[in-house]
Amino acid sequence: MRLCSIASGSSGNCIYVGSDTTHLLVDVGISGKRTKEGLENLGVKPEEIDGIFITHEHNDHISGLGVMARKYGIPIYGTRGTLQAIKNTSSVGSIDTALFQEIEADNKVTVKDIVLNPMSISHDAAQPVAYRVCHGKQKLGIITDLGCYNDYTVECLRGMNVLLMEANHDVNMLQVGPYPYYLKKRILGDRGHLSNELCGRLLSRVLHDDMQKVILGHLSKENNLPELAYEAVRVELTMSDSGYKVGDFPIQVANRSEISELIEIA
């Protein structure tokens, strides 16, 4: 199984997951043109995409959805609340309702040889989810846009070989930055976004010997830096009692606006 971040950040998110026979996208929060270019960079044609799995309806996750769906007729998977919210989003444009496929958290969905298991997350959207993806014994998790986590979150993420997880903001940068108070409060709240430190703490609870790679994603353009995200996670792991350190497995930061390296899960 393969994973590639075509874009990951507060201004747009699009993740590719695939096998030799199955090609999927998680979110299309960038233009259809950029999505097409990213896929072709991976050697995948847009018409080969078997499904688009949406985490939630915010613009940085669906802005290119209408174009991709209309042009290539790709099935769109999302929770009932998410799909209804998409239908009510005028900027997406008209989408054939036959393409919408309703899913539920903790109910598995199979697309050819890949199994996806949505999980509930805490975010200020209609009915948001993150995704665990399995291909045989290979497992990866894609979890962003969560203001907090709990034991359920930890349990869902156990046993993943690769994790793409949110390290959205540096708390100090956010607090002293230009955002208005209400927006700062939203981001810092339980239904907002995960800070660098909370990302590191969550990671320390789900690490195991078969973890192959961690990708830090959904970084804020205004309130974070790749170096800050990496260092904060490193410190949290060092301080934890997990028994693991940063050098025990690769950690990389997903590029906000450019395609990242293709990760092959062993």
Q: What is the pLDDT of residues 246-259, one digit of tens each?
A: 888 999 999 888 89
Asked whether residue 42 is domain-assigned, the answer is yes
15-32, pLDDT tens digit by residue? 999 999 999 999 999 999
Q: Is residue 266 part of a domain?
A: no
Answer whether residue 14 is part of any domain.
yes
Q: Are 2 and 19 in contact (CB under 8 A)?
A: yes
Q: Name residue, tokens 């959904």.
A: 218
Asked, for residue 262, whether it belongs to a domain, the answer is no
Return the pLDDT at 236: 95
265 inside domain: no
**Contacts for 182 with CB less than 8 Å, ≥ 6 apart:** none
Could you tell me if residue 253 is inside a domain? yes
- Domain count for the chain: 1
Cite the DSSP H helix spans in 73-211: 80-87, 151-157, 171-176, 181-188, 196-206
249 lies in which domain range? Answer: 2-257
Asked if residue 183 is part of any domain, the answer here is yes
Residue 219's CATH number: 3.60.15.10
> How far is 146 from 83, CA to CA, in rounded Å?
19
- Is position 53 within any domain? yes
What residue ranges of the chain have pLDDT lower than 70?
A: none
> Cα–Cα distance between 213 and 60 in angstroms, integer?
25
- CA nearest 173: which of 129, 107, 219, 240? 219
pTM of the model: 0.97
What pLDDT, on a 0 to 100 scale, did the predictor assign at position 246?
A: 80
